Structure 1
Amino acid sequence: MSSGRFILRHLAFTGTGVPIARLDFSEQVSFIYGASNTGKSFALAAIDFMMGGSAKELPEIPQRAPYEMVWLGLTLPSGRDVTLSRGVKGGLYALQNGLHVATAESLPTEVLGEKHDLKRDDTLSHLFLAELGLTGRKITKNKSGKTENFTFRQLAPFALINETAIQAPRSPVVSGQRDDTKEQAAFRLLLTGHDDSAIVPVMTVPHFQISKKVKIATVDDLIAGLENEVAVSLASLGGTVADTVSIEARLAEVRETWERAKESLRGHLETKRSLSIEYSGLDARGSDIQVHLERFEQLDQVYVSDMARLEALEEAGFLLSLGGDRDCPLCGAAREAQGKEHGTEDIERQRAAALAEIKKIAELRSDLRAIVAGLEQEHASVEVQLEAVGRQLHVVEANIERASAPAAENETELSALLAQRDSVRHHGQLVEQRRRLEQKREEFGKLKQSRKDQPVLKAPDAALHDFCLTMSGVLKAWKFPGECEVSFDETQYDVKIDGKARKSNGKGVRALTHAAFKIALLLYCRKEGLPHPGFLVLDSPLVAYRDPVKSKKGGALEDDEKVIAASPVREHFFRHLASLSETIQFLVLDNIDPPAGIEQLAKMELFTGNVEEGRFGFFSVSD
């Protein structure tokens, strides 16, 4: 069945020729206590090592030397029992189903990478995050809002709290690094369930300064280039810049004169166009008439030829008709003796037909002469008109020539003025561009990165308020002295208890309240249904109850620690943890003696530090 949380089952070290060093943990509360330097803190470091920590974080104590492998049995949030194994020198992890302290040859082994890689799902970090539903999350890595992938190592400090961290005079959220943005972002992720992927980053301070210098250098280069262009432009203007107002005034005068000249020229050109069209029409008509006259002359010659032929026929017929009743002049035959094929009547008819045709042709010639006369008259008229239009065209062309000269002069002057105006304008634009760049350079020089530009990296007030109420409830459950009013200080990213900064207390109070902070966060996540590993390993949370005589390392108790030491917080601390242990696993490591009756509340493990009495420590030998 899925528990929704990690449950630590056992931690073991194995090696050739040495007994297995093993700790078994209760699913609820485990309390490991006893003498110093017996391996309690080492156990926490080993658990951290098996949950993604580096080899350098695993203390090289003498008792560890003969051991080669580390084994961590645990139940995943999905409910699967697994065992992780890893060499004491670090490196990859081997994972097998079930709980073991040796490799089960019959079971498949999954190899997991030690470092988180977003592109791979065969890493320990990916496995743990996937179990919690936190894969693919982003958190900010600096105050500029730049993000990076969230890893399980950034989550581990909220479940594994070593002695140094629990007593440190700093926020329980941070580790003391120069930039604690990532740790604060991890806290916000746990507190809200939301990552920082929506944050739009701005430039970091170093990047801002570099960007500022680059901008200034770029503008300086542009200004230097413009200085050369301005110098060249000024030289092209003869060293002086004319007044654009006077240039524009002269331009207006010349343009007006030019427009008038163009208008006059335009009128002459229109007249020329009209006359040219008229001349072309007359010339074409004259040519047409000439062609017709030539053709009519040819037709008249045909008429004359036809009439001559017909007149010859008529004359021959007449002559024939005159000698029709006489003897033949050739043979002397009498009229009665002559044989005739055609009678005189036929000859007369042909004569009459010839005369009629001659008359008809004569009438046609008469009509033709009338037409020719009309065409000749029209042709003469066209010639007269052509001469008149030609004279007009000559006059108009002379006018155009006279009007073109001043127009050309005006156009030349206008072009020169326009070129001068454009050069002056270009020079002015260069000077203005230089001025703007100099102004921009001054602005860049004054640039400062404002806090307003920074992204808002803040947990919601409502969530912080509810978290503080949860921590207040934890402290009250422990019978912590005071009213237990908890508030969150955004500037210190830590809490105040009854108005006093948590880190301003002695180390014993800091340790106890650090534990309360982490327990409250776990409870808040459980209440809100937010991801959390679901277990806590606390090293020395009850150091305020140390014996100043026996614990030389701990030193004398400060006044606020004495108040705690005189209170029943220790007993209620364990009672409270036991009351939560149905859904949360606790592993407490400390040097103090347990309060009476704790055996009913927790699984006890005593490290005596004495080879002749009980269990010496994590390892069974002292050296």
Structure 2
Amino acid sequence: MADLRLAHLTYAGSAKPLAQVVFGPELTVIYGASDTGKSFIVDSIEYMLGGADLTLIPEADGYSQILLGLHMPDGSPLTLVRRPGSSSVQAHYADLRNLVTRPADRQLTAVHRARSARSVSAFLLTELGLGEEQIRKNDAGGTRALTLTDLVHLSVITETRMVDPLPPVLRSSAASTKTAAMSVMKFLLTGEGDPVIETGPNAGQRRVHKGQINLLDQIVLDLTAKLTTQENATQLRERQTRIQVTVDAQSRSLRVIADRHVAAVAARMQTAQELAALESRLAEVSDLHARFRLLEQQYRSDLDRLTMVSEVGSILGYFKVGTCVFCGAEPQHQHPDHGEQETTQLHAAVQAEVTKTSSLLADLLPTIADLRSQMEDLQARRGELLPRVVELNAEIAEAEQHLEPLRTHMEELLTARSAVERELELHSRIEELESRRSRLHGEGAVAQTRPTEHIPTRVLAEFDRVLRQTLDAWKVPAVEFAEYDQYAPEVRAGSRPRAGRGKGVRSVLHSAFTTSLARFSIDNDLPHPGFVVLDSPVVTYREPVGEDVDITSNVVDHFYRDMLSFPGQAVVIENGDPPTDVLSFASAYRFTGPGGDRPGFFPAAAPADR
């Protein structure tokens, strides 16, 4: 059966810090000091699931919204938002965990009203597939619609109810509610609601039925005319199965080729990016290399000219008679060694320039060599990338060539499957109309006997077995042969009713009953919300060996370890610390009281827990 999961409980208000607990998918333990708001969490969950009243505590002052996050049976998120003291509930198809200001997706009411789909009860029961279920409300066989509160009563257990002598099944001590409570228990253990017992139509109703039957006959004829094949529903379902098998195989082929296509496109994109960066770098290096080569040529030309100047100067200085070619002195002003001295000075100047230019050339040549090496490496890498791009383009083209016929075939298969589904839908509608027609024909018959009110012995024995296994797993003494007495209705253990035991044993038996009912329903795919919330299930339990002894740790430890294997979602509220090996597997909150890391549910620590 479909079930719900609690995601979080949040109190939000303008300019107020969030008060929030997030529930784990399996076991959540909230423990620690008293007066920290632990029990208020349980009351708030019950209130958000359709409860009528919530007694606010001082720490809640200023908080204007209560948010209860849920995971729906299909896994989608839902957030219920309710103002304290209001019966109006906003439903949002989203996981909201802060002050909500956006418009609601659905506007609901916390008050359950018959034949109204606007209540939280009707909305969530419909999501659970229980929107049409009826339960017996009196001994005459009258029925009423199942409500969410009927289920919450058996899955969210407050501390007060945990130790209350009232049997766990009953919602109050009033005799008028006993039949309905027993009917709910029967529904959870068997999955069968109570049928509505009618006395049959009168003459006027029979005339209306006849007109309805004629109308249904005409609609059936119209729908039959829309059928395009002669196949019956069984043959269509077989064809639908064959098509689905082919679709699954085709999907796998498409997925393989599509993955290959995506990988090739990604590789080509990466290669193209690398090639573009390489081309840019190659152009930059090539330009620098060309410029530096020109500079090298300029330096070598300068050196050649300097050599020539030195040689020509020496020749001119030694062999030419007349005005000095170096300083312009006339012959009468020249001394005997004048030409040689001027040539020596020219030679020194030329050598200094040669030294400078040679040094610059020597610095330039390694740079040119490095640039040439970079160019060669870049050109080699480009030579590797260009064929890779061609190879990837070919691979992409090949993948696209294979994808096209596969997609075309897939579209044909999906079209054929849709056609079969339309045919099946027509057959389903025709079958439903014919069923309604049959019911109209048979509505004149009055039931000779009322359906059974009691849980079959076989089912009850199986539930009792689960209850005993739970108590055995918790190592609870003095509760041998535990069973549910459906006629009382009461839980018995150790040959004594639960109401006749002390508070500690009453709380343990109530906890065991609640978890066993959830286990039985979940394991047998029967109706149940899918979660349990237990407030103080074992905190008051004491060993039955004396008048005044300490609280036992044996039952407490085994209780927590057994809850780790609970098949649904469990939230446990306790004062004492759970075993450390349990905390490592559970979602845990430890409320320390004032001065600790987490003082309590509300950020400001103050008396809160009731």
Q: Tell me, yes or no, if structure 1 residue 508 matches structure 2 residue 504.
A: yes
Could you tell me how far 1:570 is from its partner in structure 2? 1.1
Could you tell me how far 1:24 is from its partner in structure 2? 0.9
Contact 2:10 2:98 in 1 (8 A): no
In 1, the alpha carbon distance for the partners of 2:577 and 2:99 equals: 37
Could you tell me how far 1:616 is from its partner in structure 2? 1.7
Could you tell me how far 1:564 is from its partner in structure 2? 9.5
| Amino acid across the alignment from 1:165 | R
Could you tell me how far 1:89 is from its partner in structure 2? 1.9
Which residue of 524, 529, 532 corresponds with 1:536?
532
Q: Tell me, yes or no, if structure 1 residue 112 matches structure 2 residue 108.
A: yes
- 1:241-265 alpha-carbon deviations (Å, 9 max, x no partner): xxxxxxxxxxxxxxxxxxxxxxxxx
Contact 1:509 1:561 in 2 (8 A): no
Contact 2:491 2:497 in 1 (8 A): yes
* Matched residue, 1:592: 576
Higher alpha-carbon Rg: 1
Contact 1:35 1:607 in 2 (8 A): yes
Superposition pairs of residues 136-215 of structure 1, within 5 angstroms? 136-179=132-175, 180-198=178-196
Could you tell me how far 1:176 is from its partner in structure 2? 2.9
Contact 2:2 2:129 in 1 (8 A): no
SS at match of 2:461: helix
Distance change (3 Å), C-alpha of 1:561 and 1:470:
farther
* Matched residue, 1:102: 98
| Amino acid across the alignment from 2:582 | I
In 2, the alpha carbon distance for the partners of 1:564 and 1:146 equals: 50
Gaps of 5+ in 1: 202-452, 547-556
SS at match of 1:130: helix
- 1:328-367 alpha-carbon deviations (Å, 9 max, x no partner): xxxxxxxxxxxxxxxxxxxxxxxxxxxxxxxxxxxxxxxx
In 1, the alpha carbon distance for the partners of 2:540 and 2:110 equals: 37
| Amino acid across the alignment from 1:492 | A
Superposition pairs of residues 315-330 of structure 1, within 5 angstroms? none
Aligned-residue Cα RMSD (Å) equals 2.6
* Matched residue, 2:45: 47
- 1:114-155 alpha-carbon deviations (Å, 9 max, x no partner): 222343323211121112211122222233433222111111
* Matched residue, 1:374: none
In 2, the alpha carbon distance for the partners of 1:567 and 1:12 equals: 32
Could you tell me how far 1:499 is from its partner in structure 2? 2.1
Contact 2:3 2:530 in 1 (8 A): yes
With normalisation by structure 2, the TM-score equals 0.55
With normalisation by structure 1, the TM-score equals 0.53
Contact 1:144 1:455 in 2 (8 A): no
* Matched residue, 2:518: 522
| Amino acid across the alignment from 1:618 | F
In 1, the alpha carbon distance for the partners of 2:184 and 2:164 equals: 19
Could you tell me how far 1:457 is from its partner in structure 2? 3.0
Contact 1:506 1:560 in 2 (8 A): no
Which residue of 579, 596, 600 corresponds with 1:617?
600
Q: Tell me, yes or no, if structure 1 residue 5 matches structure 2 residue 3.
A: yes
- Which stretch of the first structure deviates more once superposed, 93-102 or 150-159? 93-102
* Matched residue, 1:367: none
* Matched residue, 1:607: 591
Contact 2:82 2:89 in 1 (8 A): yes
Contact 1:508 1:561 in 2 (8 A): no
Contact 2:32 2:574 in 1 (8 A): yes
| Amino acid across the alignment from 2:44 | A
| Amino acid across the alignment from 2:503 | K
Distance change (3 Å), C-alpha of 1:174 and 1:46:
same
Distance change (3 Å), C-alpha of 1:482 and 1:622:
closer
Which residue of 462, 465, 489 corresponds with 1:466?
462
Contact 2:508 2:541 in 1 (8 A): no
Which residue of 71, 78, 81 corresponds with 1:85?
81
* Matched residue, 2:377: none
Which residue of 533, 543, 557 corresponds with 1:571?
557
Which residue of 462, 480, 484 corresponds with 1:488?
484
Distance change (3 Å), C-alpha of 1:106 and 1:62:
closer
Distance change (3 Å), C-alpha of 1:190 and 1:33:
same
Could you tell me how far 1:200 is from its partner in structure 2? 7.3
Distance change (3 Å), C-alpha of 1:579 and 1:490:
closer
Distance change (3 Å), C-alpha of 1:621 and 1:564:
closer
SS at match of 1:74: strand
Identity of aligned residues (%): 33
In 2, the alpha carbon distance for the partners of 1:620 and 1:24 equals: 15
In 2, the alpha carbon distance for the partners of 1:485 and 1:181 equals: 26
Could you tell me how far 1:12 is from its partner in structure 2? 0.6
Could you tell me how far 1:534 is from its partner in structure 2? 0.5
Superposition pairs of residues 222-233 of structure 1, within 5 angstroms? none
Superposition pairs of residues 413-424 of structure 1, within 5 angstroms? none
Superposition pairs of residues 428-439 of structure 1, within 5 angstroms? none
Could you tell me how far 1:198 is from its partner in structure 2? 4.4
- 1:452-476 alpha-carbon deviations (Å, 9 max, x no partner): x998532222211111011111111
- 1:30-73 alpha-carbon deviations (Å, 9 max, x no partner): 1111222221111011111111112x2x1221111111001111
Contact 1:200 1:455 in 2 (8 A): no
Q: Tell me, yes or no, if structure 1 residue 74 matches structure 2 residue 70.
A: yes
SS at match of 1:503: helix
Could you tell me how far 1:559 is from its partner in structure 2? 5.1
SS at match of 1:21: strand
In 2, the alpha carbon distance for the partners of 1:7 and 1:483 equals: 32
Distance change (3 Å), C-alpha of 1:146 and 1:198:
closer
In 1, the alpha carbon distance for the partners of 2:26 and 2:549 equals: 29
| Amino acid across the alignment from 2:498 | R
Distance change (3 Å), C-alpha of 1:559 and 1:144:
farther
In 1, the alpha carbon distance for the partners of 2:68 and 2:7 equals: 7
Contact 2:4 2:71 in 1 (8 A): yes
SS at match of 2:470: helix
Distance change (3 Å), C-alpha of 1:515 and 1:142:
same
